[in-house]
Amino acid sequence: MRSMTGYSKLSYQDENFQIGIEIKSVNNKSLNLKVKLPSVLNFLENKIRTQIGEKVTRGSIDLKIDFEDKRENEDMFEYDENMCKAYLNLLQKMEDNLGGEFTNKMDYLVRNLNVIKKKETDTNDYENILTEKIDEVLNSFIQFKIEEGERLREYFKDRVAFIEERVEVIKIYKEEVVKNYKEKLIKRLDSIRGDIEFKEEDILKEILLFTDKSDISEEISRLESHLKQLKTELDSDSNIVGKKIDFILQEMFRELNTSGVKANSYDISKLVVECKNEIEKIREQAMNIE
């Protein structure tokens, strides 16, 4: 189990490169990746997105990379010697033909004719070092998410244990609902027996009708099944359980709602409300599970 909330930062420097990488994420229904790169690394953006997508499935992720090639010195630049000679010859010819004189032909050559250019960079150097360092920061980032996920797992298990305790009490109360109704009904009928005539079979039908309407055995059985599934997912080693947990919680909430309506018992309704509150706590935190 991994949280969608994560953070990691890396700083690296050697004789050739200086690199800073920061990655952070919050919850999101799908993978939403924002990448901020210096322009010299734009050619790597798709590769970086693929690299992250192979390790993370959900979350809103912000990745920022600062990059400096420390090799940028005089050896990184060059000029076209033949072109420079051609330009100078042309400028000299213009002076001769027009009778004028350039104050500084070399300055004019450099400033206006774009003869000095940066050498072609071997992008493989950039790609190799960036791939390696992004892997490093991703490993740290994912470890953060795992540790946060473990804390959530323990929190969920505590909430589930609370719900299970309440369900056991509900099972006891539900057996008493019909019994209490039967006793109250007979007591009321006894108090008016002299005024109204009724048959014993009518009493039995009324009790059976009430029993059928207030029986929550199936709802409790399904609720227990969902609790079992939920615990299985919480114990799973899978990194992708968030959506499954959310679905199970929805089904649990539905069964509790039905139980609260049908049970016709204040004690059961009170326990149902407590269970629903715990489910809401789990759902709120489960939004952060990948």
User: The pTM is what?
Assistant: 0.69
pLDDT of residue 113: 67
Q: Report the percentage of the chain scoring pLDDT > 90.
A: 50
CB 164 within 8 A of CB 155: no
Q: What is the pLDDT of residues 184-224, one digit of tens each?
A: 655 665 655 655 555 566 556 665 565 556 678 889 999 99
- Tell me how far apart the terminal alpha carbons of the chain are, to the nearest angstrom: 7
**Helix, strand or coil for residue 82?**
helix
- 54 closest CA partner among 46, 42, 64: 46
User: Please, which pLDDT band fits residue 124 given cuts at 50, 70 and 90?
Assistant: confident
- Cα distances (Å, whole numbers) of residue 33 to 57, 95, 196, 285: 10, 59, 76, 22
- Residue 71, pLDDT score: 73
For residue 286, which of 236, 229, 242 has the smallest C-alpha distance? 242
The per-residue pLDDT for 242 is: 86
The number of helices, as runs of H, and strands, as runs of E, in the chain is: 8, 6
Here the tokens at position 55 are 């390790």
The whole-angstrom distance between residue 286's C-alpha and the CA centroid of its chain comes to 9
* 166 confidence band (pLDDT: 50, 70, 90): very high
Distances (CA, A) of 134 to 23, 63, 65, 112, 143: 9, 10, 9, 41, 14
